[in-house]
């Protein structure tokens, strides 16, 4: 069938709606009708070149380019067709997309770390992970899909490992945001940094992922949450979801923390700016206390392989620098859990959706994100 999908055809090319031909689901694949898709910054990385890969890596994926690519990896929808052997979902089930697939049987999945599933290695580009064939074509040519998903499309055909079944009564709009940004931020605080009651947490970058981190810190019992963002609109919103203090920069935060912490500095620093670069590590480490944990959640361009880090202080202050993917929690655990928190009124999502867009307006949504107007934009497929 032909579906309308927002596709990026090359570096710095705009997201543009095209008719993409998708095949029927093969074994272990499902077809999902999309209802909402969230507009995470990571899709923009693909367009701007902040997510890229060397030629030899692309060859490994069986492609010569990351383009063309159907965008979108946040979203929720309804299963409309299942291929042979699909066990985890049936037609009619409501599902959230998971940018980290979870096979359930590899070493990482079996040891409770589905966010590290070995299938994750095939998500950059390339054919279906089920059988290595292509299911998506544009003008007769193969099309990549963002993280083996492509939620900016009316329908997507994906491996069942890439969807998480959710409660049929759960809000699909909330599920769309929880499917990546909120889960990643929340887990950065709760599952990676393991914030404990009474701690002081700094969240650097207050977009969709930062909004998850602030709320994770709040629910974990942080006494103080310092939200850092140059845009007042973002820090104002941060105050409504748990931030107790705000700053426009890490430098300003550095000057505030001694007074806030009897000179000890922050227990936890979570880095969720739009793009991570090596030069942000030293100022982030300087915000952290002795025994402090610094979590790098934001994605850095592939060529960022140098950081400034004073190794004497790092060891003598007993500090930790931690990476995280999907907030270091299994999607099949985190997504339903956070939906329940949302339903209990303990997790704010609705107010983080600044604007809804049609599929044709995906580029407008990313322009608004770049202009600092959105915490999260959402594609509403019924609009
Ligand atoms: N690790 C993972 O698994 C994972 C998953 C999802 C997203 N991400 C990444 O997380 C990052 C955040 O995503 P998002 O969708 O929330 O982005 P966003 O663009 O919505 O928000 C980023 C915010 O950071 C602010 N900012 C930029 N530079 C800053 C700085 N130096 N100091 C303070 N604030 C700064 C911006 O004003 C903006 O409000 C992106 O890099 C995204 O790719 C990582
Ligand atoms: Zn994302
Ligand atoms: Zn696995």
State yes or no: pLDDT of 55 exceeds 90.
no
pLDDT-derived band at 204, boundaries 50, 70, 90: very high
Judge contact between 183 and 331, C-beta under 8 A. yes
Q: Is the beta carbon of 207 within 6 A of some atom in ligand 1?
A: yes
State yes or no: pLDDT of 220 exceeds 90.
yes
- Output the pLDDT for position 294: 98
Mutate to test the pocket of ligand 1, among 38, 39, 41 (most ligand atoms within 8 A of CB): 41
State yes or no: pLDDT of 138 exceeds 90.
yes
Residue 3 phi/psi, 5-degree rounding, is: -130, 155
**Region 297-326 average pLDDT:** 95
For the whole prediction, is pTM greater than 0.95? Answer: yes
pLDDT-derived band at 196, boundaries 50, 70, 90: very high
- Output the pLDDT for position 134: 96
The strand order across the sheet containing 16-22 reads 141-142, 136-138, 16-22, 2-8, 69-70, 144-145
- Output the pLDDT for position 269: 99
Tens digits of per-residue pLDDT, 63-102? 988 999 999 999 999 999 999 999 999 999 999 999 999 9
Q: How many CB atoms lie within 10 A of CB 344?
A: 8
Judge contact between 294 and 320, C-beta under 8 A. yes
Place of tokens 């769309």: 176
Cα angle for residues 64, 359, 143 (degrees, 5° grid) = 15
Distance 352 CA to ligand 2 centre (A): 15
pLDDT-derived band at 197, boundaries 50, 70, 90: very high
- Output the pLDDT for position 33: 98
Closest ligand 1 atom to the C-alpha of 324? 1
- Output the pLDDT for position 53: 78
Domain extents in the chain: 2-166+349-380, 185-324
Mutate to test the pocket of ligand 1, among 205, 295, 330 (most ligand atoms within 8 A of CB): 205
- Output the pLDDT for position 264: 98
- Look up the CATH architecture of domain 2-166+349-380: Alpha-Beta Complex (3.90)
Residue 253 structure tokens: 């935060």
The half-sphere exposure of 370 on its side-chain side, counting CA atoms within 13 A, is 11
Distance 164 CA to ligand 3 centre (A): 14
- Output the pLDDT for position 54: 79
pLDDT, greater one: 55 or 32:
32
- Output the pLDDT for position 341: 98
State yes or no: pLDDT of 2 exceeds 90.
yes
Classify domain 185-324 at the CATH superfamily level: NAD(P)-binding Rossmann-like Domain (3.40.50.720)
- 185 vs 182: CA distance, rounded Å: 5
pLDDT-derived band at 354, boundaries 50, 70, 90: very high
Provide the mean pLDDT of the chain: 96
State yes or no: pLDDT of 104 exceeds 90.
yes
Closest ligand 1 atom to the C-alpha of 323? 1
- Output the pLDDT for position 240: 98
Q: Is the beta carbon of 216 within 6 A of some atom in ligand 1?
A: no
**Region 34-58 average pLDDT:** 90
Tell me which residues have their CB within 5 A of the ion that is ligand 3.
103, 106, 109, 117
Q: Is the beta carbon of 46 within 6 A of some atom in ligand 1?
A: no
- DSSP letter string over 331-354? HHHHHHHHHHHHHTT-S--GGGEE
Tens digits of per-residue pLDDT, 231-265? 999 999 999 999 999 999 999 999 999 999 999 99
Least Cα distance to 162 among 183, 147, 184 occurs for 147
**Region 109-133 average pLDDT:** 94
Distance 114 CA to ligand 3 centre (A): 6
Hey, is 159 helix, strand or coil? strand
Cis preceding-peptide flag for 129 (omega within 30 of 0): no
Closest ligand 1 atom to the C-alpha of 41? 15
**Region 38-43 average pLDDT:** 94
State yes or no: pLDDT of 310 exceeds 90.
yes
Q: Is the beta carbon of 208 within 6 A of some atom in ligand 1?
A: yes
State yes or no: pLDDT of 60 exceeds 90.
no
Q: Computed over its alpha carbons, how large is the radius of gyration of the chain?
A: 20
Q: Is the beta carbon of 45 within 6 A of some atom in ligand 1?
A: yes
State yes or no: pLDDT of 49 exceeds 90.
no
Least Cα distance to 148 among 191, 223, 97 occurs for 97
Distance 173 CA to ligand 3 centre (A): 27
Axis-axis angle for helices 232-240, 208-219 (nearest 10): 30
Q: Is the beta carbon of 211 within 6 A of some atom in ligand 1?
A: no
Q: Which ligand number lies closest to the CA of residue 161?
A: 3
- 217 vs 195: CA distance, rounded Å: 6
State yes or no: pLDDT of 156 exceeds 90.
yes
Q: Is the beta carbon of 108 within 6 A of some atom in ligand 1?
A: no
- Output the pLDDT for position 100: 96
């Amino acid at each position: 069938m032909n579906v309308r999908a927002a596709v990026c055809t090359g570096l710095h090319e705009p997201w543009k709606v095209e008719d993409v031909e998708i095949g029927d689901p093969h074994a272990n694949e499902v077809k999902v009708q999309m209802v909402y898709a969230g507009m995470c910054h990571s899709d923009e990385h693909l367009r701007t070149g902040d997510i890229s890969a060397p030629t030899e890596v692309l060859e490994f994926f069986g492609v010569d380019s990351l383009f063309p690519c159907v965008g979108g990896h946040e979203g929720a929808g309804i299963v409309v067709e299942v291929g042979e052997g699909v066990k985890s979902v049936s037609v009619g089930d409501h599902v959230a997309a998971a940018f980290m697939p979870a096979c359930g049987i590899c070493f990482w999945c079996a040891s409770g770390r589905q966010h590290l599933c070995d299938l994750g290695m095939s998500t950059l580009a390339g054919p279906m992970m089920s059988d290595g064939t292509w299911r998506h074509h544009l003008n007769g040519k193969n099309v990549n899909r963002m993280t083996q998903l492509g939620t900016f499309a009316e329908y997507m055909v994906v491996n069942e490992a890439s969807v998480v079944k959710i409660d049929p009564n759960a809000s699909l709009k909330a599920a769309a945001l929880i499917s990546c940004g909120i889960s990643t931020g929340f887990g950065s605080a709760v599952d990676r940094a393991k914030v404990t009651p009474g701690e002081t947490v700094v969240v650097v970058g207050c977009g969709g992922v930062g909004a998850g981190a602030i709320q994770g810190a709040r629910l974990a019992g942080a006494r103080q949450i310092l939200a850092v963002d140059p845009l007042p609109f973002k820090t104002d919103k941060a105050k409504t979801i748990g931030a107790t203090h705000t700053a426009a920069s890490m430098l300003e935060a550095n000057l505030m923390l001694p007074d806030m912490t009897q000179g000890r500095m922050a227990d936890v620093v979570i880095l969720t700016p739009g793009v991570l670069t090596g030069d942000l590590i030293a100022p982030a480490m300087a915000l952290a206390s002795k025994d402090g944990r610094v979590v790098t959640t934001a994605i850095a361009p592939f060529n960022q392989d140098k950081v400034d880090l004073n190794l004497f202080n790092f060891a003598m202050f007993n500090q930790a620098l931690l990476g995280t993917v999907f907030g270091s929690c299994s999607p099949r655990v985190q997504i339903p859990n956070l939906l329940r928190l949302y339903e209990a009124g303990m997790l704010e999502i609705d107010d983080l959706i600044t604007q809804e867009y049609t599929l044709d307006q995906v580029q407008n949504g990313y322009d608004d994100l770049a202009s600092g107007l959105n915490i999260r934009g959402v594609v509403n497929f019924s609009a």
